[in-house]
Amino acid sequence: MTSREIIVEVKDVTNRFGNHIVHQALDLNVYKGEILGVVGGSGSGKSVLLRTIVGLQRPAAGSVQVGRLEVYGPSANRPHTQRRFGVLFQRGALFSSLTVLENVALPLIEHLGLSRSRAEHLARLKIGLAGLPAKSADQYPASLSGGMIKRAALARALALDPEILFLDEPTAGLDPIGAGAFDQLLLTLRDALGLTVFLVTHDLDTLYTICDRVAVLSQRKVLVADTLPVVEQCNDPWVQDYFHGPRGRSAKNAAQAVTDT
């Protein structure tokens, strides 16, 4: 059950690149323990919003707070807030010259100052948590499948025991079975570790099977952030096309069939 404690509060945020305004007076709350799916048309600003929350994109106006801490502003404590985040970027962003084990151990050495052997011991635990076989620890990213790269990147995102996991299109490029398995892994991790998950996705199956709430980005703001039955009713052309088109209907039916069995 999702508690209603706010863990991330985005208030009145404006993001622009030159004359191009991506977000204007955008508000969004993320609740502790929820899996929030963030959707919207291409270019609606999903990745920019993620980057803004994790402190990589300073907004032109507005504020982002994590608990009581500001991510930007005079009293911001960036290293402290960033320790609370684990981020899985769109293309995995692993260092190609490092093995999986070295990739996952790196934040433990850099941020916590652990010795190499201690960091590698913990990294092996995270690699297991992400559902990778132990032997993959010694492989380089180039020799991994797309699904394994996502899991290795997930292991790295989990390295510092984050409270909030941010994922940018984690199932993009995976076959439906691999994508479904990754979704189930996220659900298991959320339940086992009490994580909060902020998930940018285009994947309707993900929305219907694991998300507690869905936020729709459109018209430079969050148009609606609610449970799927509420979001589906939103009278916006993009929402109507997306959720009530053939792909939306089939994802909903598939999720319903699983619930019924």
Ligand X SMILES: Nc1ncnc2c1ncn2[C@@H]1O[C@H](COP(=O)(O)OP(=O)(O)OP(=O)(O)O)[C@@H](O)[C@H]1O
Q: Which residues bind ligand X (CB under 6 A)?
A: 17, 22, 40, 42-48
Minimum CB distance to ligand X, residue 23 (Å): 9
**CB closer to ligand X out of 102 and 205:** 205
**CB closer to ligand X out of 56 and 134:** 56
Please count the helices (runs of H) and the strands (runs of E) in the chain: 10, 10
Q: How many CA atoms lie within 13 A of 55 on its CB side?
A: 19
**CB closer to ligand X out of 49 and 127:** 49
Cα 194 from chain centre: 15
- Spatial separation of the C-alpha atoms in residues 18 and 30, rounded to whole Å: 28
Minimum CB distance to ligand X, residue 64 (Å): 15
- Spatial separation of the C-alpha atoms in residues 103 and 93, rounded to whole Å: 10
Q: What is the bridge-based pairing of β-strands 221-226 and 164-168?
A: unpaired
Could you give the 3-state DSSP secondary structure of residue 203? coil
Minimum CB distance to ligand X, residue 50 (Å): 8
Minimum CB distance to ligand X, residue 169 (Å): 7
Minimum CB distance to ligand X, residue 90 (Å): 7
Q: What is the bridge-based pairing of β-strands 35-40 and 196-200?
A: parallel
The answer to whether 104 and 155 have CB atoms below 8 angstroms apart is yes
**CB closer to ligand X out of 29 and 44:** 44
**CB closer to ligand X out of 43 and 176:** 43
CB atoms within 10 A of CB 195: 20
Minimum CB distance to ligand X, residue 173 (Å): 13
**CB closer to ligand X out of 163 and 169:** 169
Map 146-185 to HEC letters. Answer: HHHHHHHHHHHHCCCCCCEEEEECCCCCCCHHHHHHHHHH
